[in-house]
Structure 1
Amino acid sequence: MAPLEGVHMTDSESNDETVASSDGDDRDVLVLRKGTHGMPVEQYAAAIRERLPEQTVTLARTPDEEHEAIENARFVTGMTLDEDLLEAATALEVFACAYAGTGHLPLDALEERNVAVTNASGVHGPNIGEHVLGAILRFTRRFHVGARQQRRREWRHYKAHELQDSTVTIVGLGAIGRAVCERLEPFGVETIGVRYTPEKGGPTDEIVGFEGAAFDEALARTDYLVLACPLTETTRGLIDHEAFVTIDPDAVLINVARGPVVDTDALVEALRSSWIRGASLDVTDPEPLPEDHPLWTFENVQITPHNAGHTPNYYERLADIVAENARRVAEDPTAELENQVIR
């Protein structure tokens, strides 16, 4: 892709990573202003710039700068892209979404305009894999009981569980699901993977689809049910009343996918009725979870505020993907891109 014309940051300005507006545009990569996980978006722009010393990486730091800079930008990256900003992006060829999920984007409009879209798949594998493993071990050794007794200064033994020989079912075998499998390998567990196309196989001991008797049978012998799938028509409400009735009553639900994959009312009923041992919820429906919601009141429920995705390495891993794609596009505008979800 030929360099675009316009104002860009000089090396001396790169520490601040803010951009003044100008009449032209010589941007190769435009970074939008929204950051994530409480980390300054300047770090993201710096990480891309470090990987692309031969290209011009511009950070639009205000709404006005975004609208002006995107008019002639061909390669844009950011957390989101609303339709108003897309309307101004008359030259856009690639939008590199900085999230793994793209359901919040105007995908139909992007596809109509022949804009290639990529996502951040793979960025979250290590940190969410560790989050899931931590949740499993918390319920296995019942650390939450020990913490409660410590607060009360009670020296009293309590029963715990053992992870070895347990069955862990992982719904979704993308980068996160695979990372969970890798981290479970030393623990001597049996793993069942759930994916749309079981015939493709996967890293688990067994593979089943989302529907039918095989899925129900997997639930019936599951000790830890890990949800790591995207939210689709198939997965919305996947874990409903019937699923909670079917699942082993000693099972623990761990949701790092999206809140609506689980029917919240059914989950509350299952917890009240002891149909499951507990739940670790990094996502909920609704989200944020209202202060008066009953899920806050269960001692066997762990709630984290959609925090499993946080990692200090987020921008570094994301920049690896985005910089490589920007490099490919510069060499060949028709090149296949990593993590491409719309061609």
Structure 2
Amino acid sequence: MNILISEGMPYYGISRLGKMNQVEVIPDLWANKEKLINKIKEADALIVRNQTIVDQDVLSTGKRLKVIGRLGVGLDNIDVKRASAQNIKIVSAQNANSISVAEYVMSVILNAIRTISRAIEDVNLGNWDRQRFTGNEVFGKTLGLVGTGDIGHRIAKRAIAFGIKVIGYEPYLNDLSFPFMETGIEKVAFDRLLEESDFISIHTPLTEETRSMFSHREFALMKKEGILVNTSRGGIVDEYALLDAVESGKIAGAYLDVLEQEPVEPNHFLLNNKQIFITPHIAGLTIESQERTTDMICEEVLKVLNGRNSLMVVK
């Protein structure tokens, strides 16, 4: 079997796949659609991250494709309906990076309320300004989760341990679901979450329904002290509306790990704003999560190629 990898993958995963298969790794293939289409013709499996656009053109050329392995969770870069119509299985690393994302969210919440990184920078400049960096406690604050699935559940457990009240908006789960019955998340309407949360963390896929879910109306409802955290997909947040909300004082700031267009251009209008902090899509990117993701995708891709049942196939 021929396995094509169009983005980076740890060597041990490549080695595992290559024991009984032909593996071709082209880390920058995602950036050259013409070359990708040419290479996909001979591939039985394609392994991608989030930058390879697997659209109708690619899929229609991949006549031999049996499975697409997604080294991550989101599937907005893959035409799932078209793949299903061609009987191409898609396997994703469901929950493999949930702990890493949960820890990222907690770390930015703590950084936002204590600004420790800025205090360190200031001391390195020769200052000793204790009053400026007094900060606040997270104890007693409210965290609003937009999406209460596996990641939201893990964030809630950690936040509650800090004494944070956790509320959640989740239209696809009923009141008896475990996030609300057992985790300790209070289920609320979306507007109430906007109005009551000191921190809002987004954990929902990018769909037509969620595109620009956070725009002018939503920012106007948030607290002036409110902080937005987005580790899901950039298109969920209207970036121009966000900049306006921050600059006009409607909200206090934002931590963005994802943007509508990635990687970010050097002259992007959100850069160098002292209240908007951008990281390069690393929330789920830790050594441990990458090991889990690689192991899972290798195992499930090999299962499909060998005609065995995979529980990770996207339905």
Shared fold per TM-score greater than 0.5:
yes
C-alpha contact (below 8 Å) 1:236/1:261 kept by paired residues: yes
Instruction: Evaluate the alpha carbon distance shift between residue 146 and residue 235 of structure 1 in structure 2; reply closer, same or farther with a 3 A threshold.
Output: same
The CA deviation at 1:83 is 4.7
In 2, Cα distance between equivalents of 1:273 and 1:318: 41
Q: Which runs of 5+ in 1 are unaligned?
A: 1-26, 50-54, 209-213
**Between 132-141 and 122-131, the greater mean CA deviation after superposition:** 122-131
**Between 243-252 and 178-187, the greater mean CA deviation after superposition:** 178-187
Amino acid at match of 1:152: L
TM-score after normalising by structure 2:
0.82
In 1, Cα distance between equivalents of 2:158 and 2:4: 34
Amino acid at match of 1:190: K
In 2, Cα distance between equivalents of 1:89 and 1:309: 29
Question: Which residue in the other structure is 1:35 paired with?
Answer: 7
In 2, Cα distance between equivalents of 1:282 and 1:312: 17
The CA deviation at 1:205 is 1.9
Question: Which residue in the other structure is 1:218 paired with?
Answer: 193
TM-score after normalising by structure 1:
0.76
Q: Which digits, 9 at most, give the CA deviation of each residue in 1:95-131, with x for residues without a partner?
A: 2222311111232321211222121221221222221
**Between 219-228 and 169-178, the greater mean CA deviation after superposition:** 169-178
Question: Which residue in the other structure is 1:23 paired with?
Answer: none
Question: Which residue in the other structure is 2:163 paired with?
Answer: 188
Question: Which residue in the other structure is 2:186 paired with?
Answer: 206
* Equivalent residue in structure 2 for 1:279, among 246, 250, 254: 254
Instruction: Evaluate the alpha carbon distance shift between residue 45 and residue 190 of structure 1 in structure 2; reply closer, same or farther with a 3 A threshold.
Output: same
In 1, Cα distance between equivalents of 2:247 and 2:94: 36
Report the 3-state secondary structure (helix = DSSP H, G, I; strand = E; otherwise coil) of the residue aligned with 2:65.
coil
In 2, Cα distance between equivalents of 1:331 and 1:104: 26
Amino acid at match of 2:233: R
C-alpha contact (below 8 Å) 2:169/2:193 kept by paired residues: no
Q: Alignment length, in residue pairs?
A: 296
In 1, Cα distance between equivalents of 2:4 and 2:289: 16
C-alpha contact (below 8 Å) 2:258/2:279 kept by paired residues: yes
Amino acid at match of 2:141: S
Question: Which residue in the other structure is 1:56 paired with?
Answer: 20
> Aligned-residue CA RMSD in angstroms?
2.7
Report the 3-state secondary structure (helix = DSSP H, G, I; strand = E; otherwise coil) of the residue aligned with 1:340.
coil
In 2, Cα distance between equivalents of 1:48 and 1:174: 31
**Between 193-202 and 321-330, the greater mean CA deviation after superposition:** 321-330
Q: How is 1:256-335 mapped onto 2 (pairs within 5 angstroms)?
A: 256-326=231-301, 329=304, 333=308, 335=309
In 1, Cα distance between equivalents of 2:14 and 2:3: 6
In 1, Cα distance between equivalents of 2:266 and 2:149: 33
**Between 268-277 and 300-309, the greater mean CA deviation after superposition:** 300-309
In 1, Cα distance between equivalents of 2:128 and 2:273: 23
* Equivalent residue in structure 2 for 1:250, among 225, 229, 233: 225
Instruction: Evaluate the alpha carbon distance shift between residue 268 and residue 329 of structure 1 in structure 2; reply closer, same or farther with a 3 A threshold.
Output: closer
Report the 3-state secondary structure (helix = DSSP H, G, I; strand = E; otherwise coil) of the residue aligned with 2:229.
strand
Following superposition, which runs of at least 4 residues in structure 1 exceed 6 angstroms of deviation? Answer: none
Question: Which residue in the other structure is 2:84 paired with?
Answer: 111
Report the 3-state secondary structure (helix = DSSP H, G, I; strand = E; otherwise coil) of the residue aligned with 1:313.
helix
Report the 3-state secondary structure (helix = DSSP H, G, I; strand = E; otherwise coil) of the residue aligned with 2:314.
strand
Question: Which residue in the other structure is 2:153 paired with?
Answer: 178
The CA deviation at 1:229 is 1.5
Instruction: Tell me, yes or no, if structure 1 residue 78 matches structure 2 residue 48.
Output: yes
In 1, Cα distance between equivalents of 2:57 and 2:11: 23
